[in-house]
Structures are given as structure tokens and as C-alpha cells.
Structure 1
């Protein structure tokens, strides 16, 4: 079995029989996570908002991976009321892993909201995955040792949550709001593992981040992604510091497949957290703040009306949808 010293990103272990959901698997890093997992023989399900983009991604994966077991389900993380139906549409008895990768990013104002009235990036990136996990947890518990892998961002390293303004209502700055939404996701992934351990669950939760990943350093995967010569030349000098999205997928893929990975760990690129082979890195100091994580969890539960962690106290079968 592979260990921390023998992992080969180009030859990960086989995973036939496993069923893995990748949210946002139709584009960017999520596409490469899905492609690399499909190459192991796993059944990969792409959770996508756009059926057309899902079709393009599944076709691209099948072109690269002969015999790939890949399919798609419609998933809109910005619509909390739809997530139960999305989970049911997986049509599987168990789920061996989910990669929480999908996300919204905005570079410019104005501030936007989901249909549920949440700031778009926080509502999609964090609250959507928080609520989705509640619906997936019975399927994850049905697997022998399932993993929840939450894809954070290096941008979150310099951010701190404002627990009094999680929705960026009073001070909206798009890039900062994005970084904070990813930080919230990472807090969620670590807090989820603490809660799973507390009840002796067989499910574990791991956090990963891709480092610096640029389109111009990413190999073409038409029609999902086509790298132009101009883009390649323009970003070539950046390859000393960052990498393409295919390499940005490596930490999440390892977090799913490597038997040496443990719940509560953080995985990212080896070189300064920005590029290179995947490795376990120390949990960032501000991510280790369990008080912040607990307060974020309570706020997320109130905002979504659900709780993804198993509980021995609730009245709904252990996966709480009781009123907060």
C-alpha cells in the first residue's frame, strides 16, 4: 500500500468499486480531480449546475480515460432546498468519498445573493457544502471508511473570519469575501472531523488546498479548457512559483485515496504551499482555533436549518435536520 514516502501522483492506487462525488467537477481544478480519480477505476459522479457543461466534462474524461466510469447529477449549491433531491439523484447505496470543490468567485462588486438570501460566495462555497453534507452523510456512513475532502484555498491563509458579518453585509470586498468563504469551508472540514471522532464515526474529514493554480499553466482539455499559446507564454515565468490546475488537483486526490491520510489533516503542495507534489502540512494557526470553528458551525446551522454531523441527541436518525 502507498505510504507518505511512496505516493506517485501519476500512479495513484486503484479504486475500482468506489463511488466518489466531485462537486464542480465540470471545470477547473474539480475537472482534474475527477479525471485523475476516474483513471483509478473509481465511479466518479460530477455534481454540476449546468447539464451542458457536465456533458462536456464527462466527454472529455472519457476521451482521456478509456472505459471511465463517470456520470453527472445536477447540483446547485446556491439553492439549499434542492440539495436533498440532488443527493437522492446519486442513486447509490453508499458513497466512498465526496470532494467539496465547487465554488463561486466574484472579482468585482456589486454584492450578490443566492435565492436563499445569503451572500453568493459564502452561501455557495460554505453554506451549500455544509448543508449538502447533511444529505450525503447516510451514504458516507454506509461505506467502510468514507472521506469528506474539502477543497480550501491558499487565499484563506491571510484571511480571518468576521463572525459578526459572515455575509459581508457591512463591508463587502469581493476578493476578501471569497477568501473568507474558503476559510469558512476549511474550518468546516476540520470541525466536521472533530465531531465525527466524538461519536466514533467511520467517516473522516480532510482539508486540502491547491496552492497557486493558473489556467495558463494548465494542459488543454477541450472543450472544458483550451490553453492558448499566448496564455502559455504569458504565464510561463510564473511556473517557478505556481502550477497548473492539473497539479492543483493532486492534494485532493491524495486526500481521497492515500490510506496513510487521517482525518483532521491539511494537505497542500510541497513548495511553500504553492506548487509541487502533495504533502501534509501543519494546520494553520488560525484554522486550529476551535472556538471560531464552533461559533461558525452554530451560525451555519442556524442559517441552513440543518446540521451535517452525526448526533446521538437528535430525533431524526442521527443526521440532524431538527430545528436549530
Structure 2
């Protein structure tokens, strides 16, 4: 895993051009994913929004094109909770090269009861982790055929304080929504680190980079109607929180940098500069459970068993 280094200067408002490149953003129709897509579209790259709700995806596409003249944006349907549908979603890309995929889509349930997918997996774990794991299996040939492509996995700072129970990945014994969500994000992040180790071992030029948005609130996020509308009252009520937290527009910055910055290396963790909660994107040390290579390898094996897929077999 890459150690800390001094990356070059980076201006979130003056991104490098990326004409000719293709970027896929899961969950690009709303929240942080929307702003990742909007910012990447401003570089001249072709951006594909991969979303479960095609109506919301079309609204996001229209919004991006209204703000970024000439933006090359389209969308495909992607339901990460339905593993059997992912091959069709990957085929729908119809690309010869894929320069980066941002694994951003996620589900956060606020209260019980525990919900399951059609396959019988806990919904948050299935969508946030299992679905992205399987998606990368289907995208691996396209990614590894594209020189210096990137897999950017969006985790959460809440995952840093969680522990992963490999004997109860589906939260069947003690389901608590917020903890289950944090564990699903920890699983995602561990996957991102283990993926990079396996890419390096395979001699691939593809990089796996892990990011998190810090604390990002809707009340601090600028309006993008009809995708997101912030009222004046919400804006005023959110002002005190701005001392500690940030908007979802700013929350997108670490992922955008992980996609575009040539100084970014595989196996790195990027998040907001100020206490990992707000501010410009900065490189963070990898500590605790995130640095546990044995845990990550065991999770990889368990996930491969649950999905019936193993991205390692597609890495070159």
C-alpha cells in the first residue's frame, strides 16, 4: 500500500482537461454522486450516470448539461441490489475504454425493520458492498484494458470507528441501521484496499483509490433543481453547521481528485483536509481496521462466496 507523499498543487475550481476519457459514476443522479458527475463533466470527459431510477438519472443529466455547456453525459440503469442484472448494465456501456469508475451509490436506512434483497442479502450491505464488488468483476476486463484506469471507492468516515463481524456480515443477529450502514462502508473501503493489492500483484496499471466525503449536509448544498432544491430557510438553519461540516458539492472533491490527479497512487485514502470532515481534498494515513490486510483478504473471500464472483480472475 502506498505511503504518504507530497502530492502536487490542486485547485478544485480549475480541474485538468480530460477530453477523450470515459468516467462512470454509480449513483450519479443525486447527492455527492451528482456533484462528482457534474465536476467531471466540466473537464470535457464523457460521463455515464449509473442509476437505479432512470427518471431521476435523466433529470440529473439535464441539470448537468444546463450548468456545463456541451457536457457529454448519458445514463444507464444500474441496480446494485440485483446481482443478476449487473452484466446487462455493464454491457449497456458499449465502450471500448473506461478510464475510471466511481463506486459511489449507496443506501442508508434510518430505522428498522431489517430489509433484504431478492437474493436474501441485507439491503445496505448488498447494495453498498456486494453490488459494487460484483460490478467491478464485470467491468474488470474493460478497466484493465485501459492504461492507468482507476477504481475509486467512496467510503465514509463513520466506518473508521466500526468493526467488521465476518461471522455476521448480513447483520442477522443484531441489526442496527446506522451500525449496519457503517459496516457496509467499512467493507467497501477494505475491498478498495484489497483490490489495489491484487491489481499490483497482477501487474496491472489500473489503480484502486479509496475516498470519503467527510461530513456533507443537504442544508449546506447549493440547489440543483430539480435534483436538489435548498430553500432559504434550510440555508439559514444550516449556517451554524458550516463551521464544522460542508456541502455535498465539496464532499465530491476527494473523489474527483482521485479520478483526475496524476499524482494519486493506488491504495491511497483521500478525504477532506480539516479533521477529515471538511475542506479541500487531502491524503490521509491508512490506520486501524483499514490497514488490516488479513481482514481484507478474508472479507474478499467471503464476498466472492456470497456473490459467486471473484474480480481477481479478471485482473491483468
Q: Same fold (TM over 0.5)?
A: yes
Aligned length: 311
Distance 1:145 1:16 in 2: 15
* Contact kept? 2:160, 2:288, Cα under 8 Å: no
TM-score under structure 1 length normalisation: 0.95
Secondary structure of the equivalent of 2:48? Answer: strand
196, 202, 206: which one aligns with 2:205: 202
* Contact kept? 1:206, 1:265, Cα under 8 Å: yes
In the TM superposition, what whole-angstrom CA distance separates every residue of 1:104-160 from its partner, at most 9, and x where no partner exists? Answer: 110000000011110000000000000000000111012111000000001111111
Task: List runs of 5+ in structure 1 lacking aligned partners.
Answer: 312-317
1:130 corresponds in structure 2 to 133
- Runs ≥4 in structure 1, deviation > 4 angstroms? none
Deviation of 1:182 (Å): 0.4
In the TM superposition, what whole-angstrom CA distance separates every residue of 1:151-204 from its partner, at most 9, and x where no partner exists? Answer: 000111111101110000000000000000000000000000000000101111
Distance 2:103 2:118 in 1: 21
1:86 corresponds in structure 2 to 89
Question: Is 1:143–2:183 an aligned residue pair?
Answer: no
In the TM superposition, what whole-angstrom CA distance separates every residue of 1:247-304 from its partner, at most 9, and x where no partner exists? Answer: 0000000000000000000000000000000011101321000111011001000000
1:191 corresponds in structure 2 to 194
Secondary structure of the equivalent of 2:223? Answer: coil
Distance 1:189 1:242 in 2: 25
TM-align CA RMSD: 1.1
* Contact kept? 1:307, 1:319, Cα under 8 Å: no
36, 39, 49: which one aligns with 1:46: 49
Distance 2:255 2:118 in 1: 30
45, 59, 63: which one aligns with 2:62: 59
2:260 corresponds in structure 1 to 257
* Contact kept? 2:216, 2:245, Cα under 8 Å: yes
2:216 corresponds in structure 1 to 213
1:107 corresponds in structure 2 to 110
2:3 corresponds in structure 1 to none
2:14 corresponds in structure 1 to 11
Question: Is 1:36–2:39 an aligned residue pair?
Answer: yes
Distance 1:195 1:4 in 2: 24
Question: Is 1:180–2:165 an aligned residue pair?
Answer: no
1:74 corresponds in structure 2 to 77
Distance 1:75 1:49 in 2: 5
Distance 1:111 1:143 in 2: 40
Deviation of 1:228 (Å): 1.0
1:171 corresponds in structure 2 to 174
Distance 1:308 1:58 in 2: 30
Question: Is 1:242–2:237 an aligned residue pair?
Answer: no
Task: List runs of 5+ in structure 2 lacking aligned partners.
Answer: 1-5
* Contact kept? 2:199, 2:315, Cα under 8 Å: no
Question: Is 1:155–2:158 an aligned residue pair?
Answer: yes
Distance 1:181 1:243 in 2: 23
* Contact kept? 2:151, 2:208, Cα under 8 Å: yes
Distance 1:308 1:234 in 2: 45
- The range that moved more, 225-234 or 120-129, is 225-234
1:222 corresponds in structure 2 to 225
Distance 1:191 1:81 in 2: 24
TM-score under structure 2 length normalisation: 0.97
